Amino acid sequence: MKARWLCIPAMAACMVAGQVNAELSKDDAMALAKKSGCLACHSIDKKVVGPAWTDVAAKYKGDASMKEKLVGKIKAGGKGVWGQVPMPPYSPRVADADIEALVGFVLTMSE
């Protein structure tokens, strides 16, 4: 009987994890990017202050380790990869799950 009750939280955790890793639609991603402040410096297909998302996706295409690295870079901020204009840290201002979802969206733009 206890084993059945233990399955419920495990199933709920799997469902939440699946939602975090689910790909965003373009409309949902753009709404989240706007709400999070990303569009002040980035756009999909042209350089603004920061690189175009299509350029980011092309640069890291095929590198499975980059999602985690880009998430960390967005959380902590930094400069030097795309020029000397610094990107401010976005954590904790933007939820980690939102940052992960947006990075996942950006990386799909090279497919």
Q: Identify the pLDDT of residue 90.
A: 95
For the entire predicted model, the pTM comes to 0.77
* CA atoms of 85 and 99, how far apart (whole Å): 20
Higher pLDDT, 37 or 110: 37
Query: Average per-residue pLDDT in the chain?
Result: 85
Residue ranges per structural domain of the chain:
2-110
% of the chain exceeding 70 in pLDDT: 79
Contacts of 20 (CB under 8 A, 6+ apart): 97, 100, 101
Superfamily of domain 2-110: Cytochrome c-like domain (1.10.760.10)
The pLDDT tens digits of the residues spanning 36-81 come to 999 999 999 999 999 999 999 999 999 999 999 999 999 999 999 9
